[in-house]
Amino acid sequence: MLFFVYYVCAQQCDHTVEAARFDCHPEPFVSQHKCLTRKCCWKPVSSLITPANKNRSTNSFGENVPWCYYPRDFPMYQIKTNESTAFGQRLTIVKQQATYMPNEILHLTVDLLYETSQRFRLRIYDSTNKRFEVPLPVPVVETKANATDYEVSFSQAPFAILVKRKSTGLTLFDSSVSPLIYADQFIKFSSRLSSSFLYGFGEHQQPLLINVTNEWKKLTFGLVIFLQLSK
């Protein structure tokens, strides 16, 4: 018991603002035990606990602040190698410690494809074993564009991708918001939103404009990551 308490206290859970929290247990019926089993931080917003929301992973008021969220020192991937290719860049990333998801893959390859001046593609896959990929029709581009309207950068440790619009400096994609988890039958790759006006991301049954103003998070499924710029 003393060791357990010490471990929890040693986690870096001190986010200065609640907006920095990212939900570690988006499924319903979260509890402190389930949260700590995932080695995540547990901090309910006490003023918002009611019988109606005590079994939710977020509260049902205000900004839906997650009670169970990732610590800043959660195990993450780091870049091991970086090489230039005809299509752009190829990175290999590794994680030293598996997390709560079963059968997590610790060695990954990341392809950065600069397909056109206004389209960037990101592909992440198992470095060691060939795995099933959903047979979606995607453009085949073998040579990167000579000039682009975007710029791509990445952090070494922890691994994260940042895409900005050159003309304005606006951040279009930023995966540093949450740890990448890549396991059998489960992949989690998240990004901050650059705007509240979002269209067509993932699978959803609602009007074309996705409502992101009254929800803390959005889950998307079956998504091929392309970034298409429009002037």
- Cα 25 from Cα 193, distance rounded (Å): 20
Tens-level pLDDT at each residue, the chain (231 residues): 444 443 444 568 876 577 778 889 988 889 999 999 999 999 987 644 444 444 544 444 345 788 899 999 999 999 999 999 999 999 999 999 999 999 999 999 999 999 999 999 999 999 999 988 888 888 889 999 999 999 999 999 999 999 999 999 999 999 998 999 999 988 999 888 777 666 655 555 566 665 555 555 555 544 445 555 555
Residues 6+ apart with CB under 8 A from 61: 48, 53
pLDDT of residue 18: 75
**DSSP bridge pairs for 112:** 89, 122
pTM of the entire predicted model:
0.77
The Cβ of residue 175 has, within 10 Å, a number of other Cβ atoms equal to 21
- For residue 63, which amino acid is it? E
- Is the sign of the CA dihedral 222, 119, 197, 59 positive or negative? positive
How far CA 208 is from CA of 77, 198, 200, 202, 204, in Å, comes to 34, 9, 6, 11, 9
CATH 2.60.40.1760 fits 78-228, yes or no: yes
Residue recorded with tokens 């389930």 = 34
Q: Domain map of the chain by residue range?
A: 2-69, 78-228
The Cβ of residue 123 has, within 10 Å, a number of other Cβ atoms equal to 15
pLDDT of residue 81: 97
How far CA 229 is from CA of 86, 121, 144, 197, in Å, comes to 22, 12, 16, 14
pLDDT of residue 27: 85
- Cα 167 from Cα 151, distance rounded (Å): 10
pLDDT of residue 41: 94
pLDDT of residue 231: 52
158 sits in the region (left: phi over 0; alpha: psi -120 to 50; else beta) called beta
- Is the sign of the CA dihedral 12, 122, 184, 58 positive or negative? positive
Phi, psi of 99 (to 5 degrees): -110, -155
∠ Cα 70 73 74 (to 5°): 50
Identify how many contiguous H helices and E strands the chain contains and give both numbers: 2, 14
pLDDT of residue 116: 95
Helices (H), the chain: 2-10, 32-37
pLDDT of residue 60: 42
pLDDT of residue 134: 83
Parallel/antiparallel/unpaired status of strands 226-228 and 68-69: unpaired
pLDDT of residue 208: 61
